[in-house]
Amino acid sequence: MNTLLEIKGLKKYFPIRSGVFGKTQNYVKAVDDVSFDVMEGETLGIVGESGCGKSTTGRSIIRLIEPSEGTILFQGEDLSSLKGDVLRKKRRDMQIIFQDPYASLNPRMTIGSILEEPLIIHGHVSRAERKKRVLEILEIVGLTPHHYNRYPHEFSGGQRQRIGIARALITRPRLIVADEPVSALDVSIQSQILNLMKELQEQFKLTYIFISHDLSVVRHISDRVGVMYLGRLVELADKDELYNNPLHPYTQALLSAVPQPNPRARQVRIILSGDVPSPANPPTGCAFHTRCSASMDICKTARPQMKTTQAGHAVACHLYT
């Protein structure tokens, strides 16, 4: 498989004011030095609790938000060097599906105009061609031509997410960042949408970055999975390797909380002590050391770097250095 994306040293710091009278300038380190590759045609899952920086990572990659630092190579080309028209053209290749399909669809626009909009923004597609493409895409995502003149409120949650997917797909992108795409849906609808995403991936040779707090959902759809904690990537491995042999104490705790259908596979649930620390004031050294039962002296001072222990299994933890 070819590498589609190379992300190196990605950082996104949001400035905040803190201290007495808000006089101290501080930063929320939403994404703090994250590096990974994404292969052409794969689904890379990114999991972690809310606020761990997974959405900010996804949005920075497709330049919905401007990264503070780092390089993002898309098909070998440095995205941060692109501006204006060239960037806009490139962005056709990278789309996003949002968690809440309702909030992300303009209630005053018909489905037809919602789906035509990306084609208007991204290129010289004639009105007739636009309509043709929209009718095509409606069918591809399991809707019908009758839906062309309808408004978002006339659709169920699952149908609205199909519209969100159609909108992402209509510019024929290579990469789709899916940010909690099924989290707002009933469980019965979730698998329909996940299966649709899998079919579309085959049909259109798509690459997905699939962001979710739900480990079962991520396991269902991903080829490889990365785990984030407090703005950092702490583990990355092939799906089966990660779920069967988690190395990082944080990953082990997350997985131990997932209900196991097979009682013999059930393991002791590891309870994490304390809350997730504030990303405005993350712990020194290993950001997880305040909650880690395996914490050692070195963990308080030295930040562990990602290290590949076996073929493809990378972990950032002093237990493995």
Among 249, 251, 255, 314, binds ligand SF4 (CB under 6 A): 249
Please choose, out of 52-60, 119-127, 264-272, 292-300, the segment that lies near ligand SF4 by the rule CB under 6 A: 292-300
Half-sphere exposure of 43 (CA within 13 A, CB side): 22
Residue 289 CB, nearest approach to ligand SF4 (Å): 4
55 touches Mg ion (CB under 5 A): yes
Please choose, out of 128-136, 150-158, 251-259, 285-293, the segment that lies near ligand SF4 by the rule CB under 6 A: 285-293
If the CB atoms of residues 31 and 105 are measured against Mg ion, the closer one turns out to be: 31
If the CB atoms of residues 37 and 100 are measured against Mg ion, the closer one turns out to be: 100
**How many residues lie near ligand SF4 (CB under 6 A)?**
14
Residue 304 CB, nearest approach to ligand SF4 (Å): 5
By CB under 6 A, what part of segment 82-141 binds ligand SF4? none
* Residue whose beta carbon is closest to Mg ion: 55
319 touches ligand SF4 (CB under 6 A): yes
**55: partner contacted, choices ligand SF4, Mg ion, none (Cβ within 5-8 A by kind):** Mg ion
Q: Which residues contact 49 (CB under 8 A, 6 or more apart)?
A: 213, 229, 276
Binding characters for ligand SF4, 14-53, by CB under 6 A (x = yes) = ----------------------------------------
Residue 179 CB, nearest approach to Mg ion (Å): 6
Residue 232 CB, nearest approach to Mg ion (Å): 16
317 touches ligand SF4 (CB under 6 A): yes
**CA distances to 7, 33, 112, 313, 320 from 309, in Å:** 20, 20, 50, 6, 8
- Chain residues binding ligand SF4 by CB under 6 A are 248-249, 286, 288-289, 292, 294-296, 299, 304, 317-319
